Amino acid sequence: MQCRTQRSHILPPLLCLALGLAGVHNAAAQVKPGQYIVTVATKTGTTPKGEMYLVDPATRTATALTLPSALQKNVNCITLINPVQAYVGTVGTGGPAEIFRITIAGTKVTATKLNSSALAGGNLAQIVPLGKNLYFTTQDSSNKGGVLQSVPAAGGAPTTLMNLGASSLWPTSNLANSVAGFGSRIFIGTWGINPVVLAYDTGTKKLSTFLKLPKSKVLNTYFYPVNMQTGVIGGKLTLAVCGLYGDLAYFNLLNGKLIAHYVAGKDPSRSVVTNYNFSNSFAFNPDTGDWGIGTRDGALDIVVPVGVGHAFQRAVDKLGSNPTVTTNSVNGIAYLPAGSKGYAPYGAGCSGNTKFTPTSGGFGIPTKGNKNFSFGVGSATQGIPALLLVGTAPLSLDLTAAGAPGCFLRQNNIFILPTVTAGIRAGLGQAFIPIPLPNVGATLYTQWGIVDASANSLKVIFSDGRKLVL
């Protein structure tokens, strides 16, 4: 979610976090640039448990944080204020949801409750800082639509802004779920049949329909928005919406028109119910130009917005303490940008006769002099050769005539680095090549080739391309 000030509707995320950190005296950053922080809801038997982790893409590992008792049962969403503080909302198991400001010191989290009286229901799914207030929605049994509320960022009594279910604009039997903000407006995504995104103007206090959400491209059903985010993406003011089954849609933030609709792909490691990504939260990573997706089975997936959409399945696995992964749900996720020049994706890959499209990823901060960076590829067949192709110029060379229909060479291939994929089954094959990045300015283009005799006549399929700027 975007940081806001009264002077600017949108600021670059790194600047927002830096401004927030300025008010934390003698603070040592606990969420490091280039890291995610995630909240996880898990269960032991029927007992719910809240957990929180720092996720380091460079090492593909997660560090558990120690939570206070108030967050140990029902932690839900998270919004970073700065590297040591965040806002957290709870589900409200056994009672109304609550909203906290947390502080991280080492691996210990302390929490200050911000709502001085009870909120109007449970499932506080996202928090929007806007001016001096925090905006959010909750649900309860007496109001099936949901309630839009606010709380002073400094703490205080909650204010009920609107009973959403009572509005004639509210779709029948829908629930309030995802929220985002821009300017004076709060956007509310509805969960259910024929879902929409509504806009509440905090100045006029009026509700309007902003857009109708499309059908899911993954399954022939409704979109079911789990999270929304506003910001500048690809040079455009964008409202991004993440759907339950792995849909990722971009809308023009000014007029609500659809810009692009991507899908995350199918993960064969997941059950029949959850094998379509089953997304539960997302955060944009401007350093690598892709999205970290928190799943409902304890993983961090990477969704790459090229072509119809690529997904690096289970880029970081085993988020959550329960060994049964389907009991670990990554409810909230936030990313701390490093401000690098980037390792952005471009141009789709191909699957050939296989069911899986190799997807590239950058692991670590893509900046000159970083000794802890790895080039990675995922969502491939396991146990076969993988080739990291590196060039100095982008290409879009159709390889149909070479025996690889639907495939393109995305760079001019100056040199090749070989390795072998590993994984438990087809579609979960991954490979990583750690390479210290040079301490000089440079621009390189990369792509992966996966050698698979069953794929096509060329016996190679290709990932998306990426542009590395140092």
Three-class DSSP category at 223: coil
pLDDT in tens, 110-121: 999 999 999 998
Residue of higher predicted confidence among 269 and 39: 39
Instruction: List every span in the chain annotated with CATH 2.120.10.80.
Output: 13-338
Q: Is 297 helix (H, G, I), strand (E, B) or coil?
A: coil
Contact 74, 93 (CB under 8 A): yes
Provide the β-strand partners of residue 228.
Answer: 241
Closest C-alpha among 321, 288, 322 to residue 305: 288
Confidence tier at 271 by pLDDT (50, 70, 90): low
Q: How far apart are CA 39 and CA 59, in angstroms?
A: 19
> What would the pLDDT profile of 317-365 be if each residue is shown by its tens digit?
999 998 888 888 999 999 999 999 999 999 999 998 888 899 999 999 9
Total count of residues recorded for the chain:
470
> Where along the chain do the CATH 2.60.40 domains lie?
359-469
Please give the Cα distance from 35 to 60 (Å, whole number): 10
What is the rounded CA–CA span in Å between residue 246 and residue 207? 28
State the Cα–Cα distance between residues 12 and 3, nearest whole angstrom: 8
Q: Please check whether residue 170 is in contact with residue 207, taking contact to mean a CB–CB distance below 8 angstroms.
A: no
pLDDT > 90: percent of the chain: 75
Beta strands 61-65 and 75-82, pairing class: unpaired
Phi, psi dihedrals of residue 60, rounded to the nearest 5°: 55, 40
Identify the residue with better confidence: 225 or 94.
225
pLDDT of residue 234: 86
Check residue 221 and give its pLDDT: 87
CATH class of 359-469: mainly beta
Q: Measure the CA–CA gap between 380 and 426, rounded to whole angstroms.
A: 6
First and final CA of the chain: distance in angstroms?
27
Three-state DSSP class for residue 122? strand
d(CA 179, CA 177): 7
* C-alpha to C-alpha distance for 316 and 59, rounded to whole angstroms: 9
Angle 349-354-360 (CA atoms, 0-180°, nearest 5)? 30
Q: Is the pLDDT of residue 6 over 60?
A: no
Q: What does the pLDDT look like over 398-409, one tens digit per residue?
A: 999 999 999 999
Tell me if residue 388 falls in helix, strand or coil: strand
pLDDT at 37: 97
Lay out the sheet containing 207-212: strands in order across.
Answer: 175-182, 185-191, 196-201, 207-212
Residues 235, 233: Cα–Cα separation, whole Å: 5
For domain 13-338, the CATH architecture is 6 Propeller (2.120)
**Using one digit for the tens of pLDDT, what is the confidence trace for 115-157?**
999 999 888 999 999 999 999 999 866 657 899 999 999 999 9
Q: Is the pLDDT of residue 265 over 70?
A: no
Taken in order 83, 84, 90, 96, the sign of the CA dihedral is negative
Q: What is the mean pLDDT of residues 434-450?
A: 96
Distance CA 230, CA 242 (A): 12
